[in-house]
Structure 1
Amino acid sequence: MKKIIYSSMLLFMTSIGFSQETPFLNDAEIRMLINELSGDRSFEHIRVLTQWHRDSGMDGYFKAADYVIEEAKKAGLEDVKFIEQPLGGPNYTAISAELWMTEPIEIKLADIGDHALYLSDGSHDADVTAELVWAGTGSEEDLKDLDVKGKIVLVSGYPGEAVNNAVYAKGALGVVCYGTSESKNPMDFPDQLAWTRIPVTPPSGKKGTFAFNLSPRKGEQLKKVLQTNELQDIFATGKATRGGKVVVKAKVDTEIGEAPGRTGFVEGWIRGSKYHDKQIVITAHLQEEQGSANDDGSGCGNLLEIARTLNKLIAEGKIERPLRDIRFWWTDEIYSEYRYFRDFPEEPKKMMANLHQDMVGAKQSVGSRIQHLIYAPHSITSYLDALFESVGTFVIQTNNPFITAGRMGGYPRPHSRPIYATRGTRESFGARFVPFFNASDNMNFIEGAIGVPAVGLINWDDFYIHSSDDDLWQIDATQLQRNAFIIASMAYYLGKAEADQTQLLLAETYAQGSKRMANDLHVAYQHIQKGNNPELDWKIADIIIEQGIMRELRALNSVKDVVGYGESSTDLIEAYSDQMLIKENTLMEELETNYKAKYQVRRVPNTRLTDEEQAANKKVPKNNPVLDEYFGKRKSYVAGTQIHSTMRMEVFNFVDGKRSYYDIYKAVLAEILAAGNWYYGTLTLSDVVRLLDANVESGALTLKR
């Protein structure tokens, strides 16, 4: 029976391998979604959202949430509401803020009526006129011999250090800073306003201060006025003036509430007809700076458009109501999900998958940005990655030019099945699949203590993120529509999939897993070829294959979450799992051949545990079962350890009450090596032990006895 299943599986995979499609949607379904989804409608939502400075708890955040609530209702979502959550600090909103140079000539330098980023978040009320002095970077060294008491300091870079060293330590009145977002070269972005902030709560006994933020060009011009006594017309006022001394006037009006404040997120539903404990959660985040058209106005606009599209197709009878609930969240980035799961720890058990969009509207020719399609990490690799890769690959193949298919093969040019918005570009879809990184809301779901598979979309590298440049001019409605198609297609498929999809899901998951295992074998080969320690080289190569097979068995077993636990589905999963175990034997034989040839030996060494490994193998951690305590007590970083932040998260994700410290180390090591040290850095067992021990001590974890 299992041989027959395996043969049919190979035939199935071969039959779909040469068509430009995804087996998860038929041709009519693809046309239906392409026809209805509108990047232009998404763009119009972004146009509204960009007007508000909408950091956590700000007045602009709540205005954006109100807009989304209204539009979500218009899109046909049910039970739309704002779920209020506590904000650690006070609610903060800047009402008005202006910075003027009054001597040697009157020039307005900054006004938040022009852009909110001219003022650093956290600034307090001010109405002062004072001399401006240059203070370098604002470091203690740069301020050592400066008298800044009663003055305002000008610094390059972010304002936090200057606020502490100049204002709170030496009596300055406030700060004027300039720089670029994420420390990019100011010569490349001379007119960019970076998003900056200072602590809203001053040190005990100190009065709150302010910081204005200028572009690099304007900051350097101001610095030049300070540092020369010659006649000059630096600001092009039409009047030459003598520099050497600058006086500025700062006026700031803010509203600062009492801590804790309030924040929250918007939720809406497409209620399923059958299953309510296998929800598909689609997310984007509202919280960002003024503008933030791409990060993440794009995801928020697309969520509204996906909701409209699915509800319209349901209303028109073109698709059935999904069997599963589809849940839409517009969040306060990362915070909302963690807070919600801590407050309602039973809710994640009702969730089957998370589909996340963050920065999905980039005009890719502006800044040469690439859309990253982010797999789940190895701790929770599942059927979802196979679905994601299939649909994403379809969009990549049909929205990029290929000379063989187009000019020589008769397919339409330049794109064979284009997804274009009316007011979007006709650019290609520059996209690639990448290993997991923990930079947006999808990370909350894949937490080991939560256990919901998640994938996400983020374009990178982005020169405009967290700055005044992240605005409508660099948004492409076409790219919005393509990314919306990927997420809408996945939600549509998962909404209706049942036991009849077992074969398809298993075949695609197995095929994708086979590609991952081929990469694992290649990595193991390379490790042996570059190595010079025979016993250690074999041990690590063996770990790579061992952990890869365990990953793929978990992925195959995850299909049960979609198709259920019926006898026929269970038998199929068992058959595919048996084939994966056969593959393990084959891979190990191939690895042995490689090893023996490298070291000119007749047999591979027996793997023996060192004393350190034996000690780590005796410790089996498990999570604190109370989610609020687990997240509240967890130490994500321990001084002296050198683990990449994403892999620190994976260390926690592999904690399940069954794996030992050493098992966790092996799993994370294999994941690092599969992607490459350049991507995730390096890992030592001692660092894993220190991280886990610290969390046992904090109470986030306990050791099984």
Structure 2
Amino acid sequence: MMMKTKILFLLLLAGVPCYAQNLTDQYFKLTRTGFIEKNAYETTAFVEKYFRVPGNTGFNASIRYVENILKKAGFVEQKQDEFEAPLTYRIEKRAMKNSTWEPVDANIHIIGETQPLISYQTNRNMIPINCGSTPVDGVTANVVYIEKIVPAEIEKMDLKGKILFSENNPSRLLQIATKAGAIGVLGYSMPKYTQPEIHQTSIQFGSMKANSEVWTLLLSYAAKEKLKAACLKGETKLKVNIQTKIYPSEELTVVANVKGSVKPDERFVFSAHVQEPGANDNASGVGTLAEMARLTAELYLAKKINPKRSITFLWGDEIVSTRRYITEDTTRAKGIMWGMSLDMVGEDTKKTGGSFLIEKMPDPSAIWTRGTDKHTEWGAGDVGEKDLFPHYFNDFIFDICKAQGKFANWTVNHNPFEGGSDHTPFLQNRIPGLLMWHFTDVFYHTDNDRIDKVSSTEMKNVAVSGLTAAYTLISADENTATATVSQVKEDALIRLKKEFELSKKAIANGKSADDQKHIIEVWCKWYVDALETINKMPVKTETTRVGSSIKFATNEIEKQTKVYLAELK
């Protein structure tokens, strides 16, 4: 009898992945068929028309555009409680401590030339956020080119009523310029990965101190080189005109909810930030998430999905809105089981470079970045062993994306944790959180990040992956959990083998065997602890099957780790 029971248990385990995969495949079919690329692209095109700062015309217009999509999809405006209906939305309004800002127009002319040196019509990032206006007719003044910033030497110059120009970020000269009586500062600041010598009209957006007496403007590589050549020839005079709006406003955030039928207080939260002026960053996130919400409502109303937990869709100010959503209501926060940020998800990689990336929660690759793992040009985060966040979410999402990648011939990669977007507040509050994005993007943060660089197909691939993962997780049962155990175990064994081979080479090259063993041990522990988190995946736990499968997988991982450690000498 004991033997028969054991065999039956193993057969059940063997059948689980297939059953769970069928459910995921069902969600893939629904999302692949239902996601309308045209909708996501049209929303992205609307949003990208505006230079979006919280509270300004473009930001608020984008929020209202999303609201209309939600209303047409069947979401009803929340009156008191977010679960008073199956599909609800609300717009949160908050008075802003500081005034909002928006650009209107700007241009720089070299006196004696017919064409402008640079214009807002082609370079809207030339005006830093918070920059004030010149008089309506503009100002005319001599420009002083400063090759090297030496404050003591600059302070000796006669700069009253003049314009400072340097090949540095203008913020570095703002204080000196103000003290010396200059009327404005022209600067240049483009990182190497944007390839400014090739993309010579690009300007990355920037900001300056609010209420400053001195204005600052940013130049493209082409404009900088032309002005520099003029200054080196002799006296150069410029006419500068800047028009901006600065006014009190309120900040808006949209929150939409699809109510879970069993555990509505447990949820998956998607977040896409509205502010920033680009098409990919992050109009593409806004447009993709809006279509994801529309499709979810459609599938729910057609009874094609029956979410056991809730899904929340959030649009607002980057990091600020997501952090507030998590921290303002501690009871609500306890029920957030997963968070996902959609940021720069529409890249036409043939034009922008790079690839789609999943930025992982902190795992050992963020500490020991080696082999095929690599940080992006955005830069590594400060991660130590105490910051590691073991969880199945990393591998679960990556495997979902790989499945979509195989289906759609879509390139899927990942990078170690770096931080800097809406996934960060989740992690800071010990909630599993991932970032869906693209890098390297040669047009990142530049005014060449326009709708022609956006791929509706790329947005669909991200959306299909994100929704399929969310639908699977919010209604996960024991079959889903045990299948995930098997999946994570296989991923762990692949990772350990890779790390073992890297450590073996490192020792052969003179590295400390103890240090290399430690890396293997940390990876082992990370995966063992990640497996344990699968216990909380099922909506209902009816047997000990999940716990047993975790124990079995843990033993395999630890056994293989011991073999590797014994071989590292």
- Give the Cα separation in 2 of the matches to 1:326 and 1:117: 36
* SS of alignment partner, residue 377 of structure 1: coil
Is 1:212 aligned to residue 223 of structure 2? no
Do structure 1's residue 488 and structure 2's residue 471 form an aligned pair? no
Matches within 5 A, 1:339-354: 339-354=324-339
Note if 1:309 corresponds to 2:323.
no
Partners in 2 of 1:593 and 1:300 — Cα distance? 50
In the other structure, the counterpart of 1:383 is 392
Correspondent of 1:124 among 125, 132, 135: 132
Over aligned residue pairs, what C-alpha RMSD do you find?
2.9
In structure 1, distance between residues paired with 2:155 and 2:41: 50
2:436 pairs with 1:440: no
Match in the other structure for 2:187? 177
Please give the secondary structure, in 1, of the residue aligned with 2:173.
helix
Task: Give per-residue Cα distances to partners, 1:595-644, cap 9 Å, x unaligned.
Answer: 2xxxxxxxxxxxxxxxxxxxxxxxxxxxxxxxxxxxxxxxxxxxxxxxxx
Distance in 2 of aligned mates of 1:372 and 1:216: 29
Aligned twin of 2:71? 73
CA–CA distance in structure 1, aligned partners of residues 568 and 310 of structure 2: 50
Residue correspondence of structure 1 range 468-547 to structure 2 within 5 A = 468-531=447-510, 537-538=513-514, 540-547=515-522
Q: 2:211, 2:55 → 1: CA distance?
A: 15
Residues 194 and 444 in structure 2, CA contact (< 8 A), matched pair in contact too = no
Show the counterpart of 1:101: 109
Deviation at 1:564, TM superposition (A): 5.0
1:114-263 correspondence runs (5 A): 115-127=123-135, 128-136=139-147, 140=151, 143=154, 146-165=157-176, 167-180=177-190, 184-202=194-212, 208-228=213-233, 244-257=235-248, 262-263=250-251
Aligned match of 1:33: 31
Q: 1:28 to 1:583 in 2, by over 3 A?
A: closer
CA distance in 1, matches of 2:541, 2:320: 38
Structure 2, unaligned runs of 5 or more: 76-86, 364-387
Aligned pair 1:581/2:569, yes or no? Answer: no
Provide the C-alpha distance between the structure 2 equivalents of 1:102 and 1:566, rounded to a whole number of angstroms: 73
2-structure distance, mates of 1:4, 1:436: 42
* Counterpart mapping for 1:607-618 below 5 A: none
For residues 189 and 459 of structure 1, the distance between their equivalents in structure 2, rounded to whole angstroms, comes to 19
C-alpha distance in 2 between matches for 1:102 and 1:532: 59
Query: For residues 119 and 397 of structure 1, do their structure 2 counterparts lie closer, same or farther at Cα, with a shift above 3 Å needed?
Result: same
- What is the rounded CA distance, in whole Å, between the counterparts of 2:339 and 2:397 in structure 1? 11
TM-score relative to the length of structure 2: 0.84
2: distance between equivalents of 1:40 and 1:565? 38
Contact (CA 8 Å) 1:553, 1:577: kept in 2 or not? no
Aligned residue for 2:279?
293
Q: CA deviation at 1:436?
A: 2.5
Q: Does structure 2 retain, via aligned residues, the 8 Å contact 1:279–1:350? A: yes
Aligned residue among 259, 264, 277 for 2:265: 277
Give the C-alpha shift of residue 124 in structure 1: 1.9
Counterpart amino acid of residue 68 in structure 2: E
Q: CA deviation at 1:362?
A: 0.9
Q: Distance in 2 between matches of 1:142 and 1:275?
A: 67
Q: What is the deviation of 1:151?
A: 0.7
Are the equivalent residues in 2 in contact too, given 1:381–1:453 (CA < 8 A)? Answer: no
Per-residue deviation at 1:122? Answer: 1.5
How many Å apart are 1:523 and its aligned residue?
Answer: 4.2
CA distance in 2, matches of 1:357, 1:255: 29
**So what's the TM-score if we normalise by structure 1?**
0.69
C-alpha displacement of 1:281: 0.5
| TM superposition shift of 1:579 | 4.1
Query: Displacement, 1:264?
Result: 4.3
Q: Which protein has greater RCO, CA pairs closer than 8 Å, 6+ apart?
A: 2
- Determine the structure 2 residue equivalent to 1:549: 524
User: Would you say the 8 A contact 2:285–2:342 is kept in 1?
Assistant: yes
What are structure 1's unaligned runs of at least 5 residues?
A: 203-207, 230-243, 401-428, 596-705
After superposition, the Cα gap between the structure-2 partners of 1:177 and 1:350, relative to the gap in structure 1 and judged at 3 Å, is same
Counterparts in 2 of 1:590 and 1:221: CA distance versus 1, 3 Å: closer
Equivalent in 7, 15, 21 of residue 23 of structure 1: 21
Structure-1 separation of matches of 2:149 and 2:245 = 24
1: CA distance between counterparts of 2:516 and 2:510? 10
Given the alignment of the two structures, is residue 399 of structure 1 paired with residue 387 of structure 2, yes or no?
A: no
Contact 1:120 1:197 in 2 (8 A): yes
Q: SS in structure 2 opposite 1:563?
A: coil
1:654-683 CA deviation, whole Å, 9 max, x = no partner? xxxxxxxxxxxxxxxxxxxxxxxxxxxxxx
Cα distance in 1 for partners of 2:219, 2:511 equals 54
Task: Note if 1:593 corresponds to 2:567.
Answer: yes
Deviation at 1:146, TM superposition (A): 3.2
User: What is the 5 A alignment of 1:637-648?
Assistant: none
Contact kept in structure 2, 1:271 and 1:326, CA below 8 Å? yes
Q: Quick check: 1:298–1:359 contact (8 Å CA) kept in 2?
A: yes
Q: Distance in 1 between matches of 2:337 and 2:343?
A: 20
Change (3 A) 1:156 1:375: same
Q: Distance in 1 between matches of 2:148 and 2:6?
A: 69
Matched residue type, 1:125 = S
Deviations 1:49-86 (A, max 9, x none): 01111123433222222222222222333332222356
User: In the alignment, is the contact (CA less than 8 A) between 1:104 and 1:247 conserved in 2?
Assistant: no
Render the CA deviation track for 1:268-299: whole Å, top value 9, x for unaligned: 1112222122101011111112xx11111111
CA spacing shift, 1:183–1:478, aligned 2, 3 Å: closer
Of the candidates 350, 356, 359, which is equivalent to residue 371 of structure 1?
356
Identity score, percent: 20
Which residue identity is paired with 1:198?
Answer: M
CA contact (8 A) 2:186 2:217 kept: yes
In 1, are the aligned partners of 2:94 and 2:252 still within 8 Å (CA)?
Answer: yes
CA contact (8 A) 1:272 1:326 kept: yes
Instruction: Answer whether contact 1:181 1:467 (CA < 8 A) is retained.
Output: no
TM superposition shift of 1:323:
1.3
Is residue 181–residue 193 contact of structure 1 (8 Å, CA) maintained in 2? no
> Do structure 1's residue 452 and structure 2's residue 457 form an aligned pair?
no
Conserved in 2, the CA contact under 8 Å of 1:83 and 1:266?
yes
- Tell me, yes or no, if the aligned pair for 1:139 and 1:162 is still in contact at 8 Å: no
Question: What's the secondary structure of 1:23's corresponding residue?
Answer: helix
Deviations 1:212-231 (A, max 9, x none): 223221232223223326xx
Residue aligned with 1:120, SS:
coil
Q: In structure 2, do the counterparts of structure 1 residues 26 and 349 end up closer, same or farther at CA, with 3 Å as the change threshold?
A: closer
